[in-house]
Structures are given as C-alpha cells and as structure tokens.
Structure 1
Amino acid sequence: MWHKFNPNPRGSSVGDCVVRAVAAATGQDWEKAYLGLALTGFIVGDMPSANRTWGAYLQKRGFKRSLVEADCTTCYTVADFAREYPRGVYVLGCSGHVLAVIDGKWWDSWDSGAECPIYYWYKEENDADL
C-alpha cells in the first residue's frame, strides 16, 4: 500500500527521491538527509543521488545491501516487494528511482508501486538505532 510521503520543505517531488527515501528510512528530516548525502557525495567524489553515494551513506548507518531475487525482473514490482516484506525498513533502488518501504508500505511522493526494484538496502530487525 502506498503511503504518501514528501518531506521536501518546498513541496518539490522531482529530482530528490534519494533524499526522500533516505529521510524516511533513517527518520531524519529532509534537510539533514540532504546535507548528509551532499557531504558523502563530496567525500566519494560523486553526486548526492548517485547509487554509490547514498549506498555509502546507508552502509555507514548499518544498512546492508541485497539484490532482488525475482524470476522476472520486469514484472516483480515495488508492490510485490512490500507484500513480501511486511515488516522492516528498506530502501529500494529501481531503474531511475529510489524509495523507502517501511512495514509493508511504500513511502513516496507518488504511487511508485508499479516500479521494478533491482536491489535494496535493509537494516537488521534487531538494530535499534534507526
């Protein structure tokens, strides 16, 4: 189920999907997530929205990465993932989009349930410092 989420202070919902997803998954506000991603991007020499930048940011916060194991990579959707993982915090990387799934709901500024995830970041359930 889609949970409408747009913490962008100006209401923008274009170009900042990584910031929104990281904010949702870490419990940070948009500004703190943006600054953390920008600093990480500066350190690794890439843009805040680059896969390696937000991956490094999440990894430093205890998240682990896993590939989506699906028989059909073009028909397994965000909605399917959310049903399969009804508990936990995940950040999904799709082709050209990033979003958070929290306790079986995808958090995004638009209904991205039909997007196809390629990989995801997750935090072990017993990790309490989200």
Structure 2
Amino acid sequence: MTFEKYNANPENKNIGDCSIRAICTATPLTYQQAKKLLETKVFESGAAWNTVKNITAALADLGISVERASRETVNSFTKHCDTGASYVVFVAKHAVAVVNGVIYDTWDSSRRFVKLVAKVSREKFAE
C-alpha cells in the first residue's frame, strides 16, 4: 500500500470537501470544475452536496458508474485494483482517490472499509 498525503483544495484547506478532492484527483477535472459539477447536483436534488446521491449523479454525468464493493479495506483494494486506472473510492462518510494504486488523501484512510467504487476510464477522458 502506498499512501500519498495530498490536498487538491487550491487553498490547502480541509473543509469537508473530500468528494470534490477525490473527483478532481481521479479525473482530469480541476477542483473548481468538480465543485461546480457537485453544486449543480445540489441545486437539482436539494440534498447536501457531499451525499452519495449527489456524488454518484455527478460521476454519472461524466459517464462514470459507481459499483458496490466487497467488504475490504482501501489498502487491500489497492493491492488488486487496476494500477493503470483511477478510482473514486467511497468509505463511511468519506471519499478518497486511488490513482495508479496509490491512495491520495489528506489523511491515511487505508484502513477504512470500501463501500462503493467508481473506476475512471482514462480512455474516456482521452477522447
């Protein structure tokens, strides 16, 4: 397992924006683009911006599907995931990016249990 402390927030703040950080780290979107995408979902749904419902809807707009995961830690997920791919990984009340088998987050979430996984296809964004 490799963990890289990383904060994609342009002001290096840790303000409960894990879903924005995870999306912009796992995709070619900038922090501001990911934030705007989630804000659109908040407006449409009326739910909080960091709910699984809004995050999965935002990812769906990017053509990324979210799948249920087997009960394993983020650390064990990184050992068998496609190391040439990027993922938005959902754990309890948190989202984290896994890119090329490396966990990118503001804190080491490697021992948290994975609930949902969204695999980001590089080919899709290369179009």
Question: TM-score with structure 2 length normalisation?
Answer: 0.88
Q: Which residue of 2 aligns with 1:12?
A: 13
1:87 aligns with 2:88: no
Partner SS, residue 117 of structure 2: strand
Q: Which residue of 1 aligns with 2:115?
A: 118
Q: Distance in 1 between matches of 2:63 and 2:126?
A: 9
Quick check: 1:88–1:125 contact (8 Å CA) kept in 2? yes
Q: CA deviation at 1:9?
A: 2.3
Partner SS, residue 112 of structure 1: coil
1:46-103 CA-partner distances (Å, limit 9, x unpaired): 121111111011111111121112xxx3xx2111111111231111111111011111
Aligned length: 125
List runs of 5+ in structure 2 lacking aligned partners: none
Q: Distance in 2 between matches of 1:14 and 1:88?
A: 27
Q: Which residue of 2 aligns with 1:108?
A: 105
Partner SS, residue 27 of structure 1: coil
Q: Which residue of 2 aligns with 1:50?
A: 51
Q: CA deviation at 1:127?
A: 2.4
* TM-align CA RMSD: 1.7
Q: Distance in 2 between matches of 1:125 and 1:22?
A: 13
Distance 1:6 1:55, change over 3 A: same
Counterparts in 2 of 1:59-98, with a 5 A limit? 59-69=60-70, 73=71, 76-85=72-81, 86-98=83-95
Identity within the alignment, %: 25
Which aligned runs of 4 or more in structure 1 are off by greater than 2 angstroms?
123-130
List runs of 5+ in structure 1 lacking aligned partners: none
Quick check: 2:87–2:117 contact (8 Å CA) kept in 1? yes
Partner SS, residue 20 of structure 2: helix
